[in-house]
Chains A and B, each alone.
Chain A
Amino acid sequence: MTLVRIPLDTPTRKAADVTLKKRGEVVARVDWERFRDEATAARRETTENLDALVEEFARNATASGMKVVRAADGEAACRAVMAEIGESPEIVIKSKSMVTEEIGLRHHMEKLGFTVFETDLGEWIVQVRGELPAHVTAPAIHLSTAEIAQSLSGALGRTLPPEPKALAGAAIDHLAKPLRGARVGISGANFLIAETGEIVVIENEGNAYFCTSAETNVVVTGIDKVIRARRQLPPLLRVLTASATGQPQTVYTHVLGRPGGDGVRRTIVLVDNGRRDLVAGPYADAGRCIRCGACMVACPVFRQVSGHGYKTVYPGPIGILVAPFLEPQATPSDAPFYSTLCGACSDICPVRIPISELIARRREDLWKSGKTPAAVRQAVGLFRRAQGSGPSASIARRILLAVLRHPALRRGVRVLRAGMRR
């Protein structure tokens, strides 16, 4: 997080401000706290009964004519997808899905020779740039319009003006043919309804419609997306859309049930990849997350460094909690310190996850396991020594006061240490 050039005013902050303003307008118009309570209760039911609800969903989805495949981890999930679509390379369209990012599905398919089109505009932009999404619902939140125009101009081989309408138009032109012609569509899910076996997908651009209505539709999603009942959906959708994009409702809400009439062959790959461990342990509350990204736009650190500063697919405050379970290899060991513990994430979370408090707990776990960064351990050691009496306490106090008085000293020590490591 300190190795990149960090401007004072970031595109992320500007975009986050727009979302927060729109969110505030929706919140002011509805009985927000009631919706939050209902959404929280629904998600708590999920984390407390995950296995049973997944079982019920699988049973009902299968009875509806969908094929359900369970995948314990990312590799198994990628294999399951390939088993459904066949090994001969072809064009595949894909709508937005954080789980597919988590398991590296697109890269896996591209290695096998498939041409995969990310059809969500933001996802396509980061695909063109070879980047991870910078936010769970706004993948290109870190980019200015000028940067997007430059990237898309390079990809399309013609100069595009830095105007949102022109850029969206160019994307539609580019994606129209694969959207209409691809035989295989890969999509995600926002919720899975256990009692009916239905899949709920929300979107604004219409691309998910094409992906879910391709001849073969493979839905790749986490088991944690399951909820018990249809009646739990309205408050969840209400808080999700308001928190994610500041909309009272997204443009499209797809409820995918019994296939057949439209000729779609649908398979759903239910990915665990650490989710059961998450809800079984002390961070179970984080399993309630509905991937709205509100904690990110509210977080002062995220607003400054954007998603890529975190090095994980799931960035921001909630990423600090879920990434160690869902992508342990990618999670930096000092991730619990990518937070000022200001509490803005806990305040805004629509399903009342005490994010900041759980991050503080992660720091405690890190301390107990001896993995706290050495600089922090040394500083705390000095503070503890300074609390005592005698010459060593006096020396500790002098050192600490000197560092507090001259912040440049702190930077100097860091530079020296980095130099010694090199």
Chain B
Amino acid sequence: MSAPPHRPSRTALFVPCSTAGSFPGDVDAQRRLLSLAGHPGVETFPVFCCGQPAATAGDAEGARAMGRVWAERAKEFDAVFVASATCCGQLRRLLEAEGPLRYAPDAWIETIRARCTLPRVSIYLHRPCHDIWDDARFEAYRRWVADTAGAVPIDRPYNDPCCGFGGVFSTLFDETAGAMVGHRLKAIEKAGASVVVSAEPGCLGHFAAHASTLRVVPLATFLVSRGIA
């Protein structure tokens, strides 16, 4: 019996629609970090959406169909990195097997050991409601960002569990959603942070749309701006 033909390893980066729309520059930063983490030459994953907008709108069948498109194309790759916890979570729910799906920040945390030498900066590290990490993992991530980027993450200065994004929620009720994130931005600023950082592009786009004085930066862009890659 002959061995199967050798196929070169293929990796891809899935660019969530919210990243492509709100933070297109972050795609390059994500590639640089993946390269530093031992994954050079990642291709752009040729699918636009994970199906989450359909799922949160109530179109369960539509979401499954979109997930199937994603899964079918993913078969062409050994690893598909996704820098969004909610997209990752959505795909995990939809896919029968995780297959090549990888949460990009996992790859960064596990391999990147560079250290920023710039003056320390106070940041607010946003955690999405539907984080795929448990509390311990998020805490490890928080320490890693602090050590790697020379950042001082502030403690959570508010009690509201959600920034007000909620996908379809902020689309339908933008004034309410804006007030919700406005309250949080005010609390963050009062607590002394100067930058809002997150690996969750949906929430971050909501922050960016309402922030006036605070900088709102995706995690990869932030790390690159701190000289990590």
Residues of A within 8 A of B (CB): 1-2, 6-9, 13, 16-17, 20, 298, 300-301, 303-305, 309, 334, 336-344, 360, 362-368, 372-373, 375-377, 379-380, 383-384, 386-387, 393, 397, 400-405, 407, 410-411, 414
Chain A residue, CB-CB nearest to B210: A407
Do B160 and A401 touch (CB < 8 A)?
no
B8 CB to nearest A CB, Å: 25
State the 7 A-B residue pairs at the shortest beta-carbon distance, nearest first. Answer: A404-B21, A340-B166, A363-B58, A367-B58, A342-B162, A342-B129, A344-B161
Chain A residue, CB-CB nearest to B70: A387
**Interfacial chain B residues near A341, Cβ < 8 Å:** 56, 129, 166, 169
B156 CB to nearest A CB, Å: 13
Of B95-103, B114-122, B178-186, B218-226, the one contacting chain A is B178-186
**Interfacial chain A residues near B21, Cβ < 8 Å:** 400-405
Do A6 and B176 touch (CB < 8 A)?
yes
Given known contacts A1-B173, A404-B20, is B58 in contact with A365 (CB within 8 Å)?
A: yes
Of B29-37, B60-68, B77-85, B146-154, the one contacting chain A is B60-68
**Interfacial chain B residues near A407, Cβ < 8 Å:** 174, 205, 209
Given known contacts A17-B159, A387-B69, A401-B20, is B59 in contact with A304 (CB within 8 Å)?
A: no
> Is B172 close to A, CB under 8 A?
yes
A332 CB to nearest B CB, Å: 11
**Interfacial chain A residues near B59, Cβ < 8 Å:** 364, 367, 372, 380
How extensive is the interface on chain B, given as a class?
Answer: 35 or more
Do A300 and B180 touch (CB < 8 A)?
yes
Given known contacts A379-B171, A400-B21, is B183 in contact with A367 (CB within 8 Å)?
A: no
**Interfacial chain A residues near B162, Cβ < 8 Å:** 300-301, 340, 342, 344
**Interfacial chain B residues near A384, Cβ < 8 Å:** 54, 62, 65-66
**Interfacial chain A residues near B18, Cβ < 8 Å:** 404
Do B174 and A340 touch (CB < 8 A)?
no
Residues of B within 8 A of A (CB): 17-18, 20-22, 47-49, 53-54, 56-60, 62, 65-66, 69, 129-130, 159-177, 179-180, 182-183, 186, 205, 209
Given known contacts A298-B161, A342-B162, is B173 in contact with A401 (CB within 8 Å)?
A: no
B227 CB to nearest A CB, Å: 28
Bound-complex Cα distance A375 to B173 (A):
11
Do B129 and A340 touch (CB < 8 A)?
yes
Bound-complex Cα distance A2 to B162 (A):
18
Chain B residue, CB-CB nearest to A359: B58
A301 CB to nearest B CB, Å: 7
Do A304 and B176 touch (CB < 8 A)?
yes
Bound-complex Cα distance A305 to B163 (A):
14
Bound-complex Cα distance A61 to B195 (A):
63
The listed residue with most B CB atoms (<10 A of its CB), out of A342, A393, A402, is A342
B125 CB to nearest A CB, Å: 18
Do A383 and B66 touch (CB < 8 A)?
yes
Given known contacts A13-B183, A383-B49, A384-B54, is B164 in contact with A300 (CB within 8 Å)?
A: yes
Do B205 and A364 touch (CB < 8 A)?
no
**Interfacial chain B residues near A401, Cβ < 8 Å:** 17, 20-21
B174 CB to nearest A CB, Å: 6
Do B205 and A404 touch (CB < 8 A)?
yes
Bound-complex Cα distance A334 to B168 (A):
12
The listed residue with most A CB atoms (<10 A of its CB), out of B22, B58, B167, B171, is B58
